[in-house]
Amino acid sequence: AQRVTQPEKLLSVFKGAPVELKCNYSYSGSPELFWYVQYSRQRLQLLLRHISRESIKGFTADLNKGETSFHLKKPFAQEEDSAMYYCALYGGATNKLIFGTGTLLAVQP
């Protein structure tokens, strides 16, 4: 079965601290993984995708097939990073995105 697990509902860190939002997936094929972000009162938007291997707003995520993980990391958190973050898996066979339950990141001043 295809599944995305985000074990933390809430992650609270202080400004300047490192951040790691965890995401694990279950998928039998070759996965395509994404991180979406929703800032307060804004629409859900794509943050980054693993195939691009890019850094967006200082965030990076590396696909680890051995551990079936796609954790989102940032070395120094900023207050404006406070938002809800969703990990998502694109299942080619089903042709749709499967989302995790989300992690609320709260960056304290």
Question: Where on the chain is the footprint of another protein (CB under 8 A)?
Answer: 6, 9, 32, 34, 36, 42-46, 49, 51, 86, 88, 90, 92, 95-102
Q: What is the closest distance, in whole angstroms, from the C-beta atom of residue 6 to another protein in the complex?
A: 8
Q: Which is nearer to another protein, 15 or 84 (CB)?
A: 84
Whose CA is closest to 105, among 83, 86, 88? Answer: 83
Q: What is the closest distance, in whole angstroms, from the C-beta atom of residue 8 to another protein in the complex?
A: 12
Query: Distance between CA atoms of 51 and 47, rounded to whole angstroms?
Result: 13
Amino acid at 42: Q
Q: Which is nearer to another protein, 27 or 86 (CB)?
A: 86
Contact 45, 37 (CB under 8 A): yes
Q: Which is nearer to another protein, 15 or 91 (CB)?
A: 91
**Other C-beta atoms lying within 10 Å of the C-beta of residue 94:** 10
Q: What is the closest distance, in whole angstroms, from the C-beta atom of residue 40 to another protein in the complex?
A: 13
Query: Which tokens hold the place of 55?
Result: 């850094």
